Structure 1
């Protein structure tokens, strides 16, 4: 084979975009019918967990007042506070937390558990917080809301625990991430199909054990990746359909006696339906494991594509010449054009393996909520 067979500029930017967005969506994981029925109908409970997107940040020289701290005469030590914090992980969920807080406040007002004026103040305050660029505000939504509108902000936690709040955020985040990853996969598929069309009829060696074996059409090889990615689409879509149920209303573990409308909040947030069992609602994180597993297979496919294209770009193969826009050079060897982005596609897929392995270590836990 002589010369350049493929102009990789037709595909590489999309592939690089896919792996970058794919890794971004997974990054935070490492640092972790429609008929109304009174499924949850026991006494109202408030939070028993300090882990939340909206945990107030401790201010210098001030003691923080926690929602669960009413019966405590003494605050936790700084050492325990630092060891227990989850803000650095949970801050990735701030958009989802604002979204569900808006839905929750709207439902409370409709059910007569909050005045219309308090609801409007909360919604306006959350809009302002969502638009700000200050990260510290996003990390402390409830504290920021209290600073903006005062007393009405404290009512947002009526009939809601940190337990059902955070898992709802997590389900929303995973659902949003799946949607974005599916779009990226579709763009990569389109780029591969277009590349196959441009190189119609081109014959290349097919390899086994990296030894030339049989001639194949380049189209056939490229479209094999389209098929693999289509199955990835299916796995992610299946994952989305299973996780798309709303935990809100489960509160700490046993629901609330207040007359909430769980179907209203579920519909407002785009869920299929409320979850049927309150203990399951706050306990289950299997959807995260399924999400990571599906993305691991995507990463394996991208790694294979990256490895193949690194080989094809070498002088020994010479099947493609990466465009300058997606190549790097050498400080001492000016003749070099290195396919670094493709090497990183191959290498960064290992992080997704790590995410899944780390998450699988969260096991042997009792029902409901534990700090892990």
Structure 2
């Protein structure tokens, strides 16, 4: 007792309480968490107010806002339009970033890959034009070239007796044709004021302009391209009389009159052209010519006075010549001495178009102020892949 009182009297304090210190630390930590939650809540409120101001600004300037989530087929189309209508407003730049996120951004050059809806639009317009791609073989590739392997011979065979030795027969020859992909480009432009017009369908306009440029360029190359930085057309290979045809060249039959079709029996050369093609190819044969040549051919009659040409019975059905469909391709040459105005063949076997399905678009608002340039590129190639599948009609020189 005496010792205890003596320690109390000297002023010595008791040992600290660990439980009390732990409670104090926990209370301080909870106060910090509460303060952090308040900061986060304030940030979200500020962001919501900013988005509300953007919506009001969008309504004032007449620019379309992104669609609600219930509109399943609309958001990416409107985000694409918002990208093209970029202005100086910081608020609208937020919409641009959102549009890029929906279309696979390419950070290295500021461009992006066209979203699937836009690519489908361009593709459908290409198919709706008179291009060889409608009847050719079209393949999508991810490499810089496409290799086609052609078996152009047969295995040798022979009759054997019961006891005689069997002789070695010939083996087939494989031909490899490499189709390189070349870059096709277009660069339409529009004023910034036009792009700012909310009533203008920017996406459809851009798709139409690019499709028209691409269609004209590739359609001509598929027919007569020289293969230098462009596809190699089916009229480019060497041409020989069909009686002397060999692999690597295209066989032709002559019209029989200088600079035109013969006056009498004009249809005979068409019949000869059809049967110059092998029977296996002829089953899937198609004629290719331009409209001017078609105007001449459709007047031809056989020996019994019946027209060789017949129009399609349905709206989407092509016209037919001797029962075979006709593709009117305006890039085919006109009737003239030494020209090849008509082709007949199985183009699905004879010509291959290789392409990358993506169309790349870069937006340039600086180089042509006050206009905005849209630089679009596509990789495409083409070449003859079976020289036996296509025959030509040559207008005689003399």
TM-score bracket for this pair, using the shorter chain length: under 0.3
Whichever of the two has the greater Rg, that structure is 2
TM-score in terms of structure 1 length:
0.25
- Determine which structure has the larger helix proportion and give its number: 1
Q: Which protein is richer in strand relative to its size?
A: 2
- Work out which structure has the larger RCO, using CA pairs closer than 8 Å and 6 or more positions apart in sequence: 1
